[in-house]
Structure 1
Amino acid sequence: MTLTILLFFTFFIEAIILWQYASSLFLPSHSVRIRWILLSTLYTMLFLLSLFRQTKLNIICFFIANTIFLYTQFKLKLLFALFHSAILTTIMGLSELAVLGITLKFSPYFLTDKGVGLIFYAVFSKLFFFAIIYLLAHLFKGKNTNQRPYYHSELFLMLIPILSVFIMYTFLFIGENAAIAPPVNFMVTACAIFLLLINLLVFGLNQYLQKKYNDFIDMQLLLQKESDSVEYYEMLLSQNENQRILIHDIKKHLLSIKLLNEQNCSEKIDIYIQQLMKSSDLRETVRICDNEMLNAILCRYQRQCNDKHIAFHADIRSNTLQHIYQHDITSLFCNLMDNAVEAAENIPESFIELTVQKKENSNFIVIIVINSCQSAPLYNQNGFPISRKVNKERHGFGIKSINKIVQQYQGNLEMYYDITSGTFHTLITLKTLK
């Protein structure tokens, strides 16, 4: 019974080490949930096979299981998956042999104790395995740029597994050269197990904090982008206002031209007219809706659609967005249109339809976006599409921003793909403040 529990503990630790190694080096191709399910399934099978006490079979299956996990769950070619699986298998075997040799040299009769001795050996070998794998992962990580960001501050964490191995050597030396009572012997073994768990928890926490830090940086960049977009559209509104002022003053300009004409100053008239024609205030504006900010946004995306040969249709009912903040309008519709244009691009006879209307006898606004889409997207656990871009962890914040605004206005967000028509549908309801 003790040996079975020890085997289960050993495979559990090896699974965590594999997870740490792969997550620190490679970009995942599936969600965390799928990776955990597959890893748990593979290592449960390894544990059951280990009960038959066939060492060669266990080594071969360990190699195959690691290869399957790396190849299917991360963006790796088969040869690279085989290479890294071979490294893990080799180091795992060598770490157990090294610890076995050291233990037999310092304490030849230590392993005869099938209780404390085997537990101490298992913990020691897995800690040694973890230390080597962590150092090797950082060696690969520092040389390869096509993976997760590399932080030099992580080098200081290498001291933890190295010092832990030294502490294990100290425990072994004390146990060999001093008489230890059974309760103390048990406490030393428990300390060894806790030491291994502390190592795993520290590096797991470090990885979690790095992910949160990267998410925070990406969110800050998104907010900066939204802030720049607001400033851009406010500038367009200012330009439209200047255009109205210029049109209002056109009579004065005509009067000035008339006076120059009476003085027979044709050259001055020509220069005067050229200056007016080059003025940005005279550029033509398109009226799509009565909301100035949204009108400026949609004019920009209408030009993008024309350049990309995407048919663009918009039906924005009057007085529907007057109770939505300007920065929320910018963030919401820019992200919606960015996603729609990206999906409809390079599709023959593609189109984007945008409808904004208010439900009768209610304070809810309904926003519907229908756009051409070549294939059905993959969805996450929240029912939102997953980005198809290479680095998924660095993208997908547009949908998060849309959902944040929907939640802010106590609304609802629904996205689905219609296979029959080859279109992607986004339905949003927002509750207005008034």
Structure 2
Amino acid sequence: MNGMTFVNTPGYYYSIAYFLAAFLVNRTNKQRDDVKGWKRWIIHIVFLGGIVGFMELTDGVRQMLFIPCMMVSISMLLFYIYLCCDFGLKDAGYYCARAFICGEFAASLCWQIYFYFITIRSGDIKWFGWKWLELLGVYVSVFGVLYFLEKYLKGETEENSVNSRELITVIIITAAVFVVSNISYLDQGTLFSSRFAGEMFTIRTLVDLSGMAVLYAYHIQMRELQMKFEVDTLQNILEMQYKNYQLSQESIEIVNQKYHDLKHQITLLKAEANSEKSTQYLEQMEKEIKSYEAQNKTGNKVLDAVLTSKSLYCQNKGIVFTCVADGTLLNFMAEMDISALFGNILDNAIEGAEKIPAKEKRLIHLSVAEQKSFLRIRVENYCEEKIVFKNGIPQTTKKDKRFHGFGMKSIQSTVKKYGGSVTAGVRDNWFELRILIPLHVV
């Protein structure tokens, strides 16, 4: 049988492979909340019918129309991923490029195997349905392996959004792989082309496999860099909050020393006061000093320093900050963890309170208490903005999410270290952050 009759791979090989690759992206990433149930299945069916129909209709088009038709197919792939997955356009483009090359490889491998058995071992193939059985076996094998690979790579960590540089890199790799793998079909006279069908299929399959490997290697490297950046940032936040605590502690000790000296001076002045008015004035000063001494005395020096520092900041910003805390419950925690945990908790609450124009609504309340063998930490602040939650945790509203939201991640990391949990919610314009840490395990 003349191998050149097999040069044009049927369109449905590629269209089915593209659909499965995009469907794999859909199943291994967060899906849109507004597209559920029967709506999602309608989208799957419509895309499958659309991509198969279009590629069958344009199968065997002239070379000048090949690239435009491929661009339409890729656009359909992009739209399908964007419509189903909770992605921005850059993320959808990134995963579309990877899905496209995975689909190219699966279809190329499947057709090459079919070509081999038809041309080399045609006597062994007597059943017409073998072609479809082979297609099913190859696609189940390829996309089954890719599914488990995606799940393994994803793990428990959350992926950050793709930036422009990463998207452009993946697009360049994808375009280069596609051009090299298909150059024999467009021009058989180039340095990297072949005139023989078997060689053409081998080149295409190996180039697609190499391209897929490069894209996965780049994806793994990108995730490792993201994870390293996140770990380093969380460590920097931990150290920064601890340094803030140390500076606050030094300042508080100086102030306390001055207040201690002032108490003795007031006592001497009271003994030498000649009028009742002067005595009353000095007694009022003494009362205010005792009131200061009673502030933020929770039984934990680290918490005391953090609360005093944040209280002074709130006073300067017109924020009413109240606190009821038993600091002795925190004695099992490391000083650095206490300073990071409460520093980030109050920084987030203060940031939310500062956004409120009406000063009378700038309210923050913190409580630290024991509840049924659990350390319960709860902070509330008045909130008027709409907050987006994911798995019970507020998400940053800033544009570039990879550089923001680390305060909440640091809180989660510290609480997880002690076997606790973090949840949040909004009720009647009050944002509430709740932390529970078991006390019996420490």
Match of 2:344 among 325, 328, 335: 335
Q: Does the C-alpha gap of structure 1 residues 159 and 378 become closer, same or farther in structure 2, counting only changes over 3 Å?
A: closer
Match of 1:47 in 2: 48
Match of 1:197 in 2: 209
Q: Does the C-alpha gap of structure 1 residues 76 and 413 become closer, same or farther in structure 2, counting only changes over 3 Å?
A: closer
1:287 equivalent to 2:308? Answer: no
Q: Greater relative contact order: 1 or 2 (C-alpha under 8 angstroms, separation 6 or more)?
A: 2
Displacement of 1:427:
1.4
Match of 2:285 in 1: none
Q: Does the C-alpha gap of structure 1 residues 66 and 154 become closer, same or farther in structure 2, counting only changes over 3 Å?
A: closer
Match of 1:175 in 2: 196
1:366 equivalent to 2:376? Answer: yes
Q: Does the C-alpha gap of structure 1 residues 2 and 64 become closer, same or farther in structure 2, counting only changes over 3 Å?
A: closer
Match of 1:379 in 2: 389
State how far apart, in whole Å, the 1-side matches of 2:45 and 2:321 are: 54
Q: 3-state SS of the aligned residue for 2:345?
A: helix
Instruction: Output one character per residue of 1:5-48: Cα deviation in whole Å (capped at 9) or x when no partner.
Output: 443124556x59xx8xxxxxxxxxxx942279899986753331
Match of 1:7 among 8, 15, 23: 15
Query: Does the CA contact (< 8 Å) of 1:219 and 1:397 recur in 2?
Result: no
Which amino acid in structure 1 is aligned with residue 417 of structure 2? Q
Q: 3-state SS of the aligned residue for 2:207?
A: helix
Match of 1:398 in 2: 407
Query: Does the CA contact (< 8 Å) of 1:328 and 1:405 recur in 2?
Result: yes
Query: Does the CA contact (< 8 Å) of 2:233 and 2:406 recur in 1?
Result: no
Match of 1:213 in 2: 225
Q: How does 1:26-425 map to 2 (within 5 A)?
A: 32-34=29-31, 45-52=46-53, 53-55=56-58, 63=75, 66=78, 147-149=163-165, 161=177, 164-165=180-181, 173=194, 175=196, 185=198, 189=201, 192-245=204-257, 287-290=295-298, 291-347=300-356, 348=358, 349-359=361-371, 362=373, 364-380=374-390, 382-418=391-427, 421-425=428-432
State how far apart, in whole Å, the 2-side matches of 1:341 and 1:333 are: 12
Which amino acid in structure 1 is aligned with residue 377 of structure 2? I
State how far apart, in whole Å, the 2-side matches of 1:60 and 1:166 are: 17
Which amino acid in structure 1 is aligned with residue 31 of structure 2? I
Query: Does the CA contact (< 8 Å) of 1:384 and 1:415 recur in 2?
Result: yes
Q: 3-state SS of the aligned residue for 1:338?
A: helix
State how far apart, in whole Å, the 2-side matches of 1:67 and 1:367 are: 44
Q: Does the C-alpha gap of structure 1 residues 239 and 345 become closer, same or farther in structure 2, counting only changes over 3 Å?
A: closer
State how far apart, in whole Å, the 2-side matches of 1:227 and 1:34 are: 36
Query: Does the CA contact (< 8 Å) of 1:376 and 1:417 recur in 2?
Result: no
Instruction: Output one character per residue of 1:177-232: Cα deviation in whole Å (capped at 9) or x when no partner.
Output: xxxxxxxx4x9746633531331232133134213313322331331232122122
Which amino acid in structure 1 is aligned with residue 435 of structure 2? I
State how far apart, in whole Å, the 1-side matches of 2:50 and 2:345 are: 51
Q: Considering only aligned residues, what root-mean-square deviation do their CA atoms show, in Å?
A: 5.0
State how far apart, in whole Å, the 1-side matches of 2:321 and 2:50 are: 60
Displacement of 1:287:
2.6
Alignment gaps of 5+ in structure 1: 20-30, 96-109, 120-145, 177-184, 255-283
State how far apart, in whole Å, the 1-side matches of 2:181 and 2:72 are: 28
Match of 2:275 in 1: none
Displacement of 1:296:
1.9
Displacement of 1:405:
1.8
Name the count of aligned residue pairs.
320
Query: Does the CA contact (< 8 Å) of 2:382 and 2:431 recur in 1?
Result: yes
Q: Does the C-alpha gap of structure 1 residues 41 and 9 become closer, same or farther in structure 2, counting only changes over 3 Å?
A: farther
Instruction: Output one character per residue of 1:358-382: Cα deviation in whole Å (capped at 9) or x when no partner.
Output: 236x3x21111111122442222x3
Q: Does the C-alpha gap of structure 1 residues 7 and 236 become closer, same or farther in structure 2, counting only changes over 3 Å?
A: closer
Which amino acid in structure 2 is aligned with residue 216 of structure 1? K
State how far apart, in whole Å, the 2-side matches of 1:332 and 1:251 are: 34
State how far apart, in whole Å, the 1-side matches of 2:174 and 2:57 are: 34
Displacement of 1:286:
7.8
Query: Does the CA contact (< 8 Å) of 1:46 and 1:61 recur in 2?
Result: no
Q: Give the structure-1-normalised TM-score.
A: 0.58
Displacement of 1:431:
2.7
Which amino acid in structure 2 is aligned with residue 428 of structure 1? I
State how far apart, in whole Å, the 1-side matches of 2:233 and 2:344 are: 14
Displacement of 1:345:
2.5
Query: Does the CA contact (< 8 Å) of 1:42 and 1:65 recur in 2?
Result: no
State how far apart, in whole Å, the 2-side matches of 1:371 and 1:384 are: 16
Query: Does the CA contact (< 8 Å) of 2:51 and 2:76 recur in 1?
Result: no
Displacement of 1:155:
11
Q: Does the C-alpha gap of structure 1 residues 414 and 46 become closer, same or farther in structure 2, counting only changes over 3 Å?
A: closer
